[in-house]
Chains A and B, each alone.
Chain A
């Protein structure tokens, strides 16, 4: 039961883990570009061989970043139920769409095909790889670094009047507050439990009752989010925040190693697609 109040513990995305590994010290612009490219390659990779290589590379990156592997994998735990349900749905109802190869079993609109099974295995592996990669990226990069990297990569779009700065600011703020909201939710959950709430005891088929039972959690959380937003606006404006003409305290300085690592990532991405 006590574990139920420890949401922050299960969220690996959005946390930063200080360190001095190769991945930590990688210039965040190059790191972001490389990760984006590589994650893109993972998303397109359809073959078993490619995904096995992808998984191996992802695990190697986790190792390079000196993140305890158990901790990185723990981030998958909350996603597990969705993953299973998704896999089941794909297995049962997508077989016909991906009906290349052998048909193993067929009943009405349920087709169990080779293509369908491949899809399930490949998409599950892909999901694991992506979770690991995104976790590594956020665990080794502070949100400020990430936002500035994004800003710098998207800068060309400013010529097209795309509000790049505002967009990056939004993302920074959203990422920054994930752990904060997790903590806040724990706090509210405890406060309501202290006056008799018991979450998750109503069976799922009593949908309305079950929805109502989370009101004591959701409503205060929204209230706090709005309050926080107002405070943030006041704090930013009182410190003279403007979205135009901002300079930054640190400037990027890419070393050869940063560029080399990017090439390695391009190579890895190519490998995955080629396999």
Chain B
């Protein structure tokens, strides 16, 4: 199947929760969002900025009230068949995904998705094995572990594996690393990077951590109060000091350092953001100073 240029295209999307009740409130207003096939896009913004509402549109859990959502070349609509097809290709990892595990044993839970889509038993076993090995849960030793005996980080791996077993083209991750210990966090980020860089899957992730944006994202969308306020490549976004301050986005330590140095009169490239890049820039600076 040929890849469409855009995995996800959202245009002029508005959404109101509890519409028609006294509790209604607008979650999205005229939002646009694009992700090219194979791209890794970050969505950032404060709590209540509409990030979670936006991503629920990407696999048809919510249908647009106004505006268009086009996923993998399909226009989202009420059609059940289409929704099922889209959900198979676009998976969403929600916040605290460990809450959704319900089977007793690890492999059974991971197999749930593929079984729902009616794959053959052989195919399912193969996919579960592949997914488990990928997330770092060895199939042979872990498949019959009871889920309640797992640690938080391991449970999250099970949840991720459950989605990967569907072999999705687009992965949407809602704060995938929230609440994990630093070790599990690093490990998970590395896995996501592999999914994006090596396997060419489209990744869309919501995060509060700018370190994660710097590490993973090709492009960034900034939302505030349900509207777009900025978007661009990760480099462009981090170079805009004023924007960062206005929306109190918070910057990775590397960007903070670069901006501080520039503010103190050092001649540096303001669009530096990666850790390695920054190290190179700073050491160049140090050499100049010494020389």
Contact = CB atoms under 8 A, between A and B. Distances in A.
A100 interface: no
Contacts of A196: 84, 87-88, 112-114, 116-117, 166
A230 to B, nearest CB: 14
Interface stretch (B33-41, B94-102, B211-219): B94-102
A194 B59 contact: yes
A17 B22 contact: yes
A220 B87 contact: no
The DSSP consensus for interface residues of chain B is mixed
Nearest to A197: B116
A71 B23 CA distance: 10
A215 B87 contact: no
Contact of A191 (B22, B62, B100): B100
Contacts of B63: 1-2
Contacts of B220: none
A223 to B, nearest CB: 7
A194 B78 contact: no
Interface residues of B, number: 35
A193 interface: yes
A194 B102 contact: no
Contacts of B102: 215-216, 219-220
Given A216-B102, A216-B112, A194 B87 contact: yes
Contact of B61 (A188, A194, A216, A224): A194
Given A6-B18, A9-B18, A219-B102, A195 B112 contact: yes
13 contacts: A1-B60, A2-B61, A2-B62, A6-B17, A8-B18, A187-B94, A191-B92, A192-B100, A193-B61, A195-B100, A197-B116, A215-B102, A220-B102
Interface of A: 1-2, 5-6, 8-9, 15, 17, 67-68, 70-71, 74, 187-188, 190-198, 215-216, 219-220, 223-224
Interface of B: 17-18, 20-23, 56, 59-63, 78, 80, 83-84, 87-88, 91-94, 97, 99-102, 112-114, 116-117, 162-163, 166
